[in-house]
Structure 1
Amino acid sequence: MKRLTRIFLFLSLAAGIAVAVMYRDRFDAQALEAWVQGAGAAGPLLFMAVYAIGTVLFLPGSVLTLAGGALFGPVLGTFYNLTGATVGAALAFLVARYLGADWVARKTGGRLKQLIQGVENEGWRFVAFVRLVPLFPFNLLNYALGLTRIPFWHYLLATWVCMLPGAIAYTYLGYAGREAVAGGEGLIQKILLALALLAAVAFLPRLIARLRQGPMLSIPELKEKLDGGEDLLVLDVRTAEDFIGEQGHIAQARNIPLEELPGRIDEILDWEEKPVVLVCRTDRRSAKAARILARNGFADVHVARGGMTDWNANGYPAE
């Protein structure tokens, strides 16, 4: 019976998504406004329901969010947008968990299993990170996270809180657009505020990446940790030629050149929750590598200040 229920739910969901994709060109802000205004006092509830269902069925969230700002203003619009998006994200998460989480847990292995385990270990912090720094499409990510073992309430709370900055910015943009069409007062100030909010949201990825980086380590501190046998990855991001060149390299170091790092992240996923210390000639390439790792979910990233130049200046052995 459970299997039949899952099959029915899957087919219904697939059919709903197919219909939504086929008719998405007919789904626009004007149509939504007509539905909401026609519902009278129940308009906000209808809007949130449409937003939630649209999230499940892969309808464009940008249209809904801008429409929410235009219909309800910046304050109520933000609340309705955020609530509808969160409810939709929760539904997609629960559907994916019901339909496929057990199967994924049984069938996955190798690098994919390591990736899923890394996401699960980071839990709500990973959810918060991808909500603040949208690396993947929102609708698809809701289903993908449902296939992990992240606790539902951790997912829900992190989603609601961390989508708030984007919801405020895009809701206000919808409101400012409506005011521009209507010729409301203080139009220039409203447009400037909308642009400032968008700029703040666009800056979030860089800010979050910096926050996820640990403090820089001096070379003596790194040497002390290595001598003490601490479990950490020394990642040298110089080119292969420099790694074995005149400056040499730290005996425990692993070499992945900076230019290759984005495509070779899966090789170091075992260290996603463990300390990673980045080394280069000084520390400029290491700082760039730290931002790449932070954007990919690594939780404890440090840059070795001065790199191999300071290592050699201190007289430490190099290979």
Structure 2
Amino acid sequence: MDERLVTAFAFIEASGYIAPILFILFHILRQFLFIPVSLVCMAGGILFGSLLGTVYSLIGLTLLSIGFYFVIKWLPGLSNKLFKMKEKWFGQSAVLTTGQISILKLIPFFHYQLLNLCLVERKREFPSFTKASLLSNLPLAFFYTVFGQYITRFSPTMMIILLFSLVLLFYVLREKVRVVQWNEFFETSKG
């Protein structure tokens, strides 16, 4: 782990009663320090135990998502950049379900804010977005907090099996309806 990260977690651990508040704030600030969500959740399990670590990580991730909701509404340029990235990764007409977003948040190399954008696209109203954000962050906070210590001990075979299982679950949780544009339909039927 990075020395700065170890120092930050040592400071949080030594801060006593305000440690949970500092940890939650660290969840919000970690994106500017380019620290993966999974590392912060794992540290929450080490610092506070499985139950409290999960709760504090869930609060921090949900507050981060709520902040993203308001920032994305105020900065349309950022929104456009993220929509272009979404189009490259998922295609032009892909609309992910909350379950699919939850699964993708478990995979460390997916862009967390891009997945929040997909959630904003799916749930445009603030109360429904907040609820969906809480639900999509729950598996992430739980999995990495509770099982985070054991993930580092997995063999490469076990990691491949785990990733394959997540991809399969992602496929199963997809939306079963596909909307085809008029022009797309007739272009494919000509060939």
Quick check: TM above 0.5? yes
Is 1:126 matched up with 2:100?
no
- Tell me how far 1:67 sits from its aligned partner: 0.5
Question: Based on CA coordinates, which of the two structures has the bigger radius of gyration?
Answer: 1
- Tell me how far 1:32 sits from its aligned partner: 2.8
Contact 1:132–1:163 (CA under 8 A) maintained in structure 2: no
C-alpha offsets along residues 55-102 of structure 1, whole Å, 9 cap, x if unaligned?
Answer: 365432222111011111111111111211121122123112212279
Is 1:27 matched up with 2:4?
yes
> Which residue is equivalent to 2:167?
205
Separation in 2, partners of 1:139, 1:68: 21
| Greater share of residues in strand | 1
> Which residue is equivalent to 2:15?
39
Among residues 61, 66, 78, which one is paired with 1:90 in the alignment? 66
C-alpha offsets along residues 160-197 of structure 1, whole Å, 9 cap, x if unaligned?
Answer: 212222322211234558xx9xxxxxxxxxx79xxx9x
Among residues 54, 65, 69, which one is paired with 2:45 in the alignment? 69
- The alignment covers a number of residue pairs equal to 175
> Which residue is equivalent to 2:126?
152
C-alpha offsets along residues 198-246 of structure 1, whole Å, 9 cap, x if unaligned?
Answer: 966762331231243659xxxxxxxxxxxxxxx976xxxxxxxxxxxxx
Contact 1:52–1:86 (CA under 8 A) maintained in structure 2: no
Query: CA 1:132–1:156 in 2, change beyond 3 Å: closer, same or farther?
Result: farther
Separation in 2, partners of 1:70, 1:102: 35
Separation in 2, partners of 1:63, 1:54: 10
Query: CA 1:201–1:39 in 2, change beyond 3 Å: closer, same or farther?
Result: farther
Query: CA 1:39–1:58 in 2, change beyond 3 Å: closer, same or farther?
Result: same
Q: What is the alpha-carbon root mean square deviation over aligned residues? A: 4.6
| Greater share of residues in helix | 2
Query: CA 1:36–1:46 in 2, change beyond 3 Å: closer, same or farther?
Result: same
- Tell me how far 1:145 sits from its aligned partner: 6.0
Unaligned runs of 5+ in 2: 181-185
Structure possessing the higher relative contact order (Cα contacts under 8 Å, 6 or more residues apart): 2
> Which residue is equivalent to 1:78?
54
Q: Percent identity?
A: 25
**TM-score, with structure 1 as normaliser:** 0.43
Contact 2:123–2:129 (CA under 8 A) maintained in structure 1: no
Query: CA 1:211–1:100 in 2, change beyond 3 Å: closer, same or farther?
Result: closer
Paired amino acid for 1:153: P
